[in-house]
């Protein structure tokens, strides 16, 4: 069984987790999802097909990361969510 996924989603979540170590922002499930959705709307999608259980390699992700500025898209999203958080 093959699976198609937008690798950009995983990379955006990885970036949010990395930034959460160094910056103050709420990373509750609601805010994480809001940040990810906003960032993904600014970024190109990048679909890959993997077979069951196989994951896209970190090396390939890093290569892709150099092409698009994921960090700046995530940062812009963090600012928006931080100003207007939707969590309770």
Q: Which of these segments, 50-58, 61-69, 71-79, 80-88, binds Zn ion (CB under 5 A)?
A: 80-88
Q: Encoding tokens for residue 42? A: 């600014």
Per the CB < 8 A criterion, the answer to whether 5 and 53 are in contact is no
Minimum CB–partner distance for residue 84 and Zn ion (Å): 11
Binding mask 47-66 for Zn ion (x = CB under 5 A): --------------------
Rounded CA separation 36/21 (Å): 16
Applying CB under 5 A, among 3, 18, 23, 28 the residue interacting with Zn ion is 28
Choice between 26 and 48, CB closer to Zn ion: 26
Q: How many residues does the chain have?
A: 88
Is the CB of residue 12 less than 8 Å from the CB of residue 39?
A: yes
User: Does 20 participate in binding Zn ion (rule CB under 5 A)?
Assistant: no
Beta bridge partners of 67: none
Interface with Zn ion (CB under 5 A): 26, 28, 31, 87
């Amino acid at each position: 069984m093959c699976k198609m996924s937008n690798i950009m989603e995983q990379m955006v979540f990885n970036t949010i987790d990395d930034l959460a170590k160094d910056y103050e922002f709420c990373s509750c499930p609601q805010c994480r999802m809001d940040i990810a959705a906003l960032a993904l709307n600014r970024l190109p999608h990048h679909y890959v097909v993997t077979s069951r259980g196989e994951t896209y390699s970190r090396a390939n992700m890093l290569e892709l990361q150099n092409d698009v500025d994921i960090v700046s898209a995530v940062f812009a999203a963090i600012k928006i969510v931080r100003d207007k958080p939707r969590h309770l």
